[in-house]
Structure 1
Amino acid sequence: MKRELSHRQLQMLIQVSNAINSTLNLDMVFNTIMRETLAVIEAADEGYLFLYDPEEDMLVAKSIFLRSNDILSVVRLKPGESMTGITFLNKACTHFPDRDSVYQATRTMSPGNQARLTAADPIFPYSAACAPIMTNGECIGVITLDCFHPHKSFQPEDLQLLEAISHQAAVALEKANLYRAQENSISLLEELNVQMNRQNQLLNRSLEIHQHLARLVLHGEGLQAIFTYLHQLLGKTCLLLDQTGELIVASVEPLPAATQNQLANLRAFLHPLLVKATSLPLPEAPHTLIDCVLFPIGAKANFLGYLVIVTTEALEEVDRAALEHASTVISFELVKKQAIFETEQNLKGQFIEELFAGRMSEQLTEQAKHLQLDASRFYQVLTIHFEADKLDFAELYSLILTVRRHLTQLAADLFLKRFPHGLIVARHDHLILLLSYPQSVAEAEAQRYLKEQCQMFADYVANKKWGLRAAFGIGSVKRGLSEVYKSSEEAVKCLQFLKNYKTGSSYISYSELGGKRLLLQNSADELTDYVLEVLGPLLSYEKSRKREFLQTLAAYVANSLKMKETAQSLNIHLNTLIYRIRRIEEILGISLAVNKHFMDVCLAIEVYGLLEVQVEQRMSQLLSPAR
């Protein structure tokens, strides 16, 4: 200061200093500075304190004492803008002694700020005084005072006092900032302490849960015990699903109706993941759906299924950590079960290959005993083959690999529960079932039951909409293991017949094939040629008709050449039938009374029913004009 403060000014400065040092609250410091400054400088009618924000390069209003409007609370000034900005750049106390100097200073404001100021108070002050708030040679803010009385003005002693107050304000602000920083540090430490305590609790609980789950595994308690523990821990229903969405384990049984509905919706969500890709997509983190949370089990290379928590509430961090531990333990259990399944399948597969090769030996007999197969019982082979029209070989194999454990279990439930002394082997794109019967079994009843189960299996696979189709080849019943290979060969022939010929059924037994077995010894082309040799003239004659004569001939043969029964089955007059049969014999150049002609026609009609598409295509080619 150029000259010392007067006694009165010192008293005022002490008054201001005491007031602004009475609090360390930053907001209160701002207001106290302005209130006390306006109180000790008589010419000041309004005042405001701006602090500089270096990140935005703006002077921002922190405390405002205006006559009627707080428009300056939204005004942000650039350095050099208006009286406050000019003082900020000058870093010195600045006096604007008259309206003209005030007006010239406000002309430096941006258009937006000028509009706001004019809207708030169109009257310019008669004079103004500004003092920078300095700290370590840097300006951190500005105190601005306005005088609106024409007969008042800021005197040199007022400017001197304002400068002294700005120095006190700088000290007070620095202290308040230090206090706020200390408060923030304390708050941060408290928050960190809370987080550390929570992390410790989380770690302790996670360790406790992990140890409990580990004990369950080490004691061989199994998956059901794990899920019972999770239910007790969380108070929520927990489910384990395989890759297809089928339920493996539930923490409560039976499942409530609402949970069963959720499970159906969940399967619908997972279904596209199963059928769209050759390898299942694996979520990297728990996936939240409506009223449930999914935790993936296993790795992408060996995806095993999902842990599902049925809940309408968000899971707490501690519970999520517990479930992640549980997912790891469950994956170990599933991998163990999978390894056991694969080992069993390999051993059974090797046994089946030797058995179906017809090479009985003492070693094979011993293996049969280990598999609890009695060499003196009756056996039958059922082969289930899987096909898919819309998948290539790699996609089909991947899909079968994904669902084969599930399908193997389904086959065991359907076929082995009634006759348990058999075995199932999963091989590539098919399942092989070796069914075992006691001597006392009623064969007709057993075969009827077997076909019913085949239909149930086929319906189940179709309803899953995986894109798979199941076909069943059923060999005949053989006595003793030494004859099983014959039943295996028969089952393969049945599958070949289903593949080559249209039967309208997904299963057939070798005994049902009857004389159709002979068809397997010839190719489809050879059989088509045979049909055309026998029935060709009739098919050619009826090329533009609805195969009326062919239907009549088939009915006549099926009714053993009995006119009355045939006419009744066709719902036609007997004379009409007589005419048709006579005309058919004329077209074919045969007599059905001749045994050879009758046998040829019977066989040709049977083959036509199986190869209708191929025969009609050949007929179209033969009848189309040569190009």
Structure 2
Amino acid sequence: MHSASTLARGLSVADALSLSSLAGTEVLAGATGLDRVIQRLNVMEVPDILPWVKPHELLLTTGYPLQSAGDLAGLVRDLDERGLAAVAIKLGRYVDTLPDEVLRTADSLGLPLLRLSGAVAFDDVLNQLLTDIINRQAATLARAEEVHRVLVDVILAGGGLAAIAEKLPELLDGSVMVTTPDGRVLARSGMDEEVLADPRFFDPSGGRFQVEHFKHGARALDDEDPRVVQVPVLAGSLDHGRVVLITRGRSAEAADVHLLERAAATAALVITRDLAVSAVEGKYQGDFLRDLLAGNAGGDEHVIRHCASLGWDIDRPLVAVVAELDGEAGAPVPAAGELRPAHERFAGAWSMVVRERDPGAVVVGYSQEVVVLLGADGGGGGVGPRVRSVIAQVAGDGGGGRRPFTTGISRVAAAPGELPRAYEQARQAARVGRRMNGPGSVAEFDDLGVYRLLSQIPDTAELRSFIAETLGELAETGSPEKDDLRTTLETLLDNNLNVAETARLLHFHYNTLRYRIGKLERMLGPFSTDPHLRLNLLVALRAVRMHDLRG
């Protein structure tokens, strides 16, 4: 019960021993539990005290009831199970000493057993301790009301999460941030470079607090030296994020948790307000972007002016990026109420990362995808690496329960009129990339090669027929020998019929590979001398891989 007691508001046993009414008190046993918190007081007048004992009590006794209490060691264990803070006893009049077994039991449990001085009066102890507890609780409530007043003033003044985060460090004596549920920092204050660079707190990208490494709420106080406390920002059944406190050179306290909960409630109001506003704006922006990408938004000049009013700069070379959340294998289909917040958080992550790099970029989230129009001018190394850097930052280190996503990247669109085609290119790249490389893939349209053409063939039956006619027996599955021959053929063609290199890659002897080539040509035809046959075989093998038609 030791750790649980630290969650109560009151004063510790150690603090109580410094009061004048307990002067001369000796700790007989259980010294490791002096940080237990006293919230109530009780007096033991009868041996069967257990039904009246409550957690966080200091139990006072003259020792008279202990004469007939029977198993004193068992009584100590029962008192500890009920969360008692400590037992204070006057020895000498009724009980001279406590048995060694009792002292050993108290030591093992960390339940303080205190010997009161003969001059101590119970009424003085009760009066002084109760006054101190009430004063401490009143101070905590006053501090909480001050936090509430300050934060309400922030909201009434139209402030957002940044304004809330700015006010909290002076009230909480530490660094404060507001994050998304997976730890992306939305606002922060009072945070020095040492904290930002600490790998215990932030992932290598520096943009995500590692929420999964720290306990929530009062449970954080169970740690040996709690420095970090986080509380969820909840509105109804929706989890909007975390308010996090990192203390400055001190352990976090129960009062910190209480104040953070007040701050989280305020943050929930701000986030709910902002979501309501952004939902209207986002609906309008999403509808306009749909028209733009469908080529129905009007002439370039009109589109450029309208986008500028939305904060979008499209009068420059742009690259389209389409990101789609991947389904989790074996996971149940989410309910409608769960699906929407996941996509909203996904779109929010993209918006946060992209706007830091390109404030004029377009970021719009739909139910099945996030569409980004990112500036392609400036910077070295080409568009692809820069976009992949954005993707890597959105993905982070994969902590916090984030879901994988597949991304497609278009060619550069030099003018607004080219954006519809760029959008289709990005969608096609995402679709083909997922088929080829599975969930979490990143594909550029220019790198698709022949897969661009294959992805446009809607008739799967026709592709199956082509594969069967071209590969013959090798189109079938279930035979290790044929699967092995198909791998040999593909490796040989990919290496432009270089026998030595193919043998090295497949770990075959040169003569073994020559034998296999002869066998393949008897099955498929003279592909080593017929370039048209080689082309057909390559296309058939790519179609097999892309559409997974071998089964």
TM-score bin, normalised by smaller chain: 0.5 to 0.7
Supply the RMSD in Å over aligned alpha carbons. Answer: 4.6
Residue by residue over 1:384-442, the C-alpha shift from the partner in whole angstroms, topping out at 9 and shown as x without a partner, is 1111223333259726624744x44543465555554321112123211112334x777
Residue matched to 1:83: none
- 1:554-573 mapped onto 2 (5 Å cutoff): 554-561=490-497
Provide closer, same or farther for how the CA distance between residues 504 and 468 of structure 1 changes in structure 2, counting only shifts above 3 A: closer
Residue matched to 2:419: 484
Does 2:310 align with 1:358? no
Provide closer, same or farther for how the CA distance between residues 215 and 376 of structure 1 changes in structure 2, counting only shifts above 3 A: closer
Query: 1:506: Cα distance to partner?
Result: 0.3
Letter in 1 for 2:494: A
Residue matched to 1:454: 391
Query: 1:531: Cα distance to partner?
Result: 1.8
Does 2:519 align with 1:583? yes
Residue matched to 1:426: 365
Residue matched to 2:84: none
Residue by residue over 1:145-203, the C-alpha shift from the partner in whole angstroms, topping out at 9 and shown as x without a partner, is xxxxxxxxxxxxxxxxxxxxxxxxxxxxxxxxxxxxxx99x999999999998887677
- 1:235-246 mapped onto 2 (5 Å cutoff): 235-246=173-184
Residue matched to 2:271: 334
Residue matched to 1:367: 306
Residue matched to 1:474: 409
Structure 2 CA distance, aligned partners of 1:287 and 1:569?
Answer: 54
Provide closer, same or farther for how the CA distance between residues 598 and 377 of structure 1 changes in structure 2, counting only shifts above 3 A: same
Letter in 2 for 1:433: V
Is the 1:288–1:294 Cα contact (8 Å) retained in structure 2?
A: no
Query: 1:603: Cα distance to partner?
Result: 1.0
Q: Quick one: which of 428, 434, 444 aligns to 1:493?
A: 428
Structure 2 unaligned segments of length 5 or more: list them.
1-45, 47-63, 69-121, 204-208
Residue matched to 1:307: 243
Residue matched to 2:93: none
- 1:150-299 mapped onto 2 (5 Å cutoff): 208-219=146-157, 222-248=160-186, 249-254=188-193, 256=195, 261=200, 267-268=211-212, 288-290=221-223, 291=226, 293-299=229-235
Is the 2:214–2:220 Cα contact (8 Å) retained in structure 1?
A: no
Structure 1 CA distance, aligned partners of 2:196 and 2:303?
Answer: 50
Structure 1 CA distance, aligned partners of 2:315 and 2:67?
Answer: 100
Q: Quick one: which of 368, 379, 392 aligns to 2:332?
A: 392
Is the 1:365–1:375 Cα contact (8 Å) retained in structure 2?
A: yes
Letter in 2 for 1:601: L
Higher helix share: 1
Q: Quick one: which of 534, 545, 551 aligns to 2:470?
A: 534
SS of the equivalent of 2:286 reads helix
Is the 1:502–1:610 Cα contact (8 Å) retained in structure 2?
A: no
Residue matched to 1:19: none
Residue by residue over 1:287-334, the C-alpha shift from the partner in whole angstroms, topping out at 9 and shown as x without a partner, is 755325554433333433333444635435xx7765554344333333
Structure 2 CA distance, aligned partners of 1:395 and 1:536?
Answer: 46
Q: TM-score, normalised by structure 2?
A: 0.62
Provide closer, same or farther for how the CA distance between residues 466 and 526 of structure 1 changes in structure 2, counting only shifts above 3 A: farther
Provide closer, same or farther for how the CA distance between residues 255 and 213 of structure 1 changes in structure 2, counting only shifts above 3 A: farther
Is the 1:424–1:431 Cα contact (8 Å) retained in structure 2?
A: yes
Does 2:293 align with 1:349? no
SS of the equivalent of 1:261 reads coil
Is the 2:323–2:371 Cα contact (8 Å) retained in structure 1?
A: yes
Is the 2:182–2:399 Cα contact (8 Å) retained in structure 1?
A: no
Structure 2 CA distance, aligned partners of 1:196 and 1:580?
Answer: 90
Which structure would you say has the larger RCO, counting Cα contacts within 8 Å and 6 or more residues apart?
A: 2
- 1:498-537 mapped onto 2 (5 Å cutoff): 498-502=433-437, 506-520=441-455, 521-537=457-473
Structure 1 CA distance, aligned partners of 2:265 and 2:65?
Answer: 61
SS of the equivalent of 2:254 reads coil
SS of the equivalent of 2:411 reads coil
Is the 1:414–1:457 Cα contact (8 Å) retained in structure 2?
A: yes
Is the 1:286–1:295 Cα contact (8 Å) retained in structure 2?
A: no
Is the 2:182–2:400 Cα contact (8 Å) retained in structure 1?
A: no
Is the 1:244–1:270 Cα contact (8 Å) retained in structure 2?
A: no
SS of the equivalent of 1:394 reads coil
Is the 2:181–2:239 Cα contact (8 Å) retained in structure 1?
A: yes
Letter in 1 for 2:368: D
SS of the equivalent of 1:421 reads coil
Structure 1 CA distance, aligned partners of 2:298 and 2:229?
Answer: 55
Structure 2 CA distance, aligned partners of 1:251 and 1:342?
Answer: 31
Letter in 1 for 2:516: R
Structure 2 CA distance, aligned partners of 1:538 and 1:382?
Answer: 38
Bigger CA drift: 496-505 or 473-482? 496-505
SS of the equivalent of 1:393 reads coil
Is the 2:411–2:425 Cα contact (8 Å) retained in structure 1?
A: yes
Is the 1:243–1:403 Cα contact (8 Å) retained in structure 2?
A: no
Provide closer, same or farther for how the CA distance between residues 452 and 255 of structure 1 changes in structure 2, counting only shifts above 3 A: closer
Structure 2 CA distance, aligned partners of 1:299 and 1:202?
Answer: 25
Structure 2 CA distance, aligned partners of 1:511 and 1:384?
Answer: 17
Bigger CA drift: 482-491 or 195-204? 195-204
Does 2:484 align with 1:545? no
Residue by residue over 1:504-555, the C-alpha shift from the partner in whole angstroms, topping out at 9 and shown as x without a partner, is 9701122212222221213555433322221122456993427454344324
Is the 1:389–1:467 Cα contact (8 Å) retained in structure 2?
A: no
Residue matched to 1:140: none
Is the 1:297–1:327 Cα contact (8 Å) retained in structure 2?
A: yes
Provide closer, same or farther for how the CA distance between residues 314 and 329 of structure 1 changes in structure 2, counting only shifts above 3 A: same
Structure 2 CA distance, aligned partners of 1:418 and 1:294?
Answer: 28
SS of the equivalent of 1:391 reads coil
Query: 1:355: Cα distance to partner?
Result: 0.9
SS of the equivalent of 2:193 reads coil
Is the 1:473–1:507 Cα contact (8 Å) retained in structure 2?
A: yes
Provide closer, same or farther for how the CA distance between residues 225 and 526 of structure 1 changes in structure 2, counting only shifts above 3 A: same
Is the 2:147–2:259 Cα contact (8 Å) retained in structure 1?
A: yes
Q: Which has the larger radius of gyration?
A: 1
Residue matched to 2:85: none
Query: 1:584: Cα distance to partner?
Result: 1.8
Structure 1 CA distance, aligned partners of 2:65 and 2:316?
Answer: 102
Is the 2:408–2:442 Cα contact (8 Å) retained in structure 1?
A: yes
Q: Quick one: which of 317, 321, 336 aligns to 1:382?
A: 321
Letter in 2 for 1:490: Q
SS of the equivalent of 1:474 reads strand
Provide closer, same or farther for how the CA distance between residues 374 and 261 of structure 1 changes in structure 2, counting only shifts above 3 A: closer
Structure 1 CA distance, aligned partners of 2:513 and 2:135?
Answer: 97
Is the 1:404–1:426 Cα contact (8 Å) retained in structure 2?
A: yes
Structure 2 CA distance, aligned partners of 1:525 and 1:336?
Answer: 52
Provide closer, same or farther for how the CA distance between residues 509 and 260 of structure 1 changes in structure 2, counting only shifts above 3 A: closer
